[in-house]
Amino acid sequence: MSIIISLLNHKGGVGKTTSAINIGAALVKLGKKVLLVDLDPQANLTVSLGIPRQKVTIYENMRGEAEIQPYAVKEGLDVVSSSLDLSGAEMELINEAGREYILQELFVPLQEEYDYIIIDCPPSLGLLTLNALTSSNYVVVPMQTEFLALQGLAKIKQITDKVRFRLNKKLQIGGVIATMYDNRKVLNRDILQTIKKFFGDKVFDSMIRENVALAEAPSQHKDIFEYSGNSNGAEDYLNLAKEMVARFESGPYAESREKED
């Protein structure tokens, strides 16, 4: 049974897509089979991996025109691509019965095929994000260690609690990732402490340091391990993936998920 994770932050530029790609690639290095779902109409994940325009994208899937047809990026890593057409989905599906459960139903045939399904959510809290949260076991929040990133912390928790109460009893905040971190900067250290005060032990120990290779890799349509396997970015995402496996496949998180199942 797949572990489904939504990467969510309604603030853009926090490393959400970078994290989706490289967590997925790191999990593959750990022997997992991973499906990445690009649920953002900007299609940044799709473009970053150099995936050509597909006849069937997540847009066609959500409209009920076709089942999910993953694109194989490399062995162990598949992607459900996106397109700009997805920007119209919220309006087109607004009157659809059970519209919050469309993505959940699409995932049913894939549950035994993948160890992890990772959803790159759009930077908004509309119907697409609602679908992601309704289908997920965990919300993981990438958060840049800058002042403006703190704005909306309470909103993320509020929307997660609301979805858990009304639509998805199994949903949990699985963790917070500190991204673009520079230990030399007092502000970064202060912001990290503030995040830890708010989220406690949900903040992952593995932080993603500022690393130019992470910014360069998408221009070459590669994940960080293919582009610069010895970089700080590769080291940090591999450590994060190991921590996620330990957290989600054993201990209280896994026990809670099994009880819900």
CA neighbours closer than 13 Å in the CB half-sphere of residue 102: 27
The helix (H) or strand (E) run that includes residue 4 is strand 3-7
Q: Give the pLDDT confidence score for residue 90 in this predicted structure.
A: 84
- DSSP class of residue 203 equals B
Q: Answer whether residue 220 shows pLDDT above 80.
A: yes
**What is the tally of structural domains in the chain?**
1
Give residue 15's identity as a one-letter amino acid code: G
Give residue 225's identity as a one-letter amino acid code: F
Q: What is the CATH number of the domain that holds 239?
A: 3.40.50.300
Q: What is the pTM of this model?
A: 0.94
Q: Contact at 8 Å (CB) between 129 and 25?
A: no
Q: Answer whether residue 149 shows pLDDT above 80.
A: no
Q: What residues make up the domain containing 227? A: 3-260
pLDDT tens-place string over residues 16-38: 999 999 999 999 999 999 999 99
How many angstroms separate the CA atoms of 108 and 157, rounded? Answer: 27
Averaged pLDDT for residues 166-180: 94
Q: Answer whether residue 132 shows pLDDT above 70.
A: yes
Length of the chain as a residue count: 261
Averaged pLDDT for residues 55-67: 95
How many angstroms separate the CA atoms of 206 and 236, rounded? Answer: 6
Least confident range from 105-114, 165-174, 188-197, 216-225: namely 188-197
Q: Answer whether residue 12 shows pLDDT above 90.
A: no
How many angstroms separate the CA atoms of 47 and 215, rounded? Answer: 14
Q: Give the pLDDT confidence score for residue 261 in this predicted structure.
A: 61
pLDDT tens-place string over residues 181-192: 998 899 999 989
Q: Contact at 8 Å (CB) between 233 and 213?
A: yes
Averaged pLDDT for residues 241-261: 80
